[in-house]
Amino acid sequence: MAKRTILTAPDPRLKAKGKDVDKVDGDIRRLIDDMLETMYAADGVGLAAVQIGVALNVVVMDIAQKEGKNDPQVFINPKILWASEETAKFEEGCLSVPDIWEEVTRHTAIRAQYLDRDGNQQVVEADGFLADCLQHEIDHLSGKLFIDHLSRLKRSMALKKLGKAKRQKELA
């Protein structure tokens, strides 16, 4: 396993659309292990391969980490099959947009299909935090950041704040 560098906005590679994984093999499992190590090291609950510069449709998540537990989940080629009409605002942050937290409107429940770590087809019914996180990570696979859901003004303010923080970090 190896910790990878997480890209941060406005890196253009974050806008790349992921490609479906044809075969779940040792290379994909190594990528998954690296992604999990990277996510845990950054104290995140989700990470998409595009966030480490790999344009493949692979997502890792561990929402149990919020409670100090470990329950890693892997979603390869995830697709939303159904989304509830009901929506709610969730406060989101992102490892690729550090230190920015904003409310984003998402579907409260979804059904998604994906391949697991062993290449088996799975379907998950998700609501609450799991649904929010999965939608957030699937957005990454199509080149979309959570700040893209914000108004132009809020997105602009978030990017300015991010730029200022990067400059301060470089000076330190």
Q: What residues are labeled active site?
A: 137
Per the structure block, which two tokens stand in for 29? 């499992």
Q: Which amino acid is located at 126 in the chain?
A: A
Backbone Cα Rg of the chain:
16
The set of residues, in sequence order, having a beta carbon less than 8 Å from that of 59 and lying 6+ positions away, is: 46, 47, 48, 49, 74, 75, 76, 78, 134, 137, 138, 140, 141
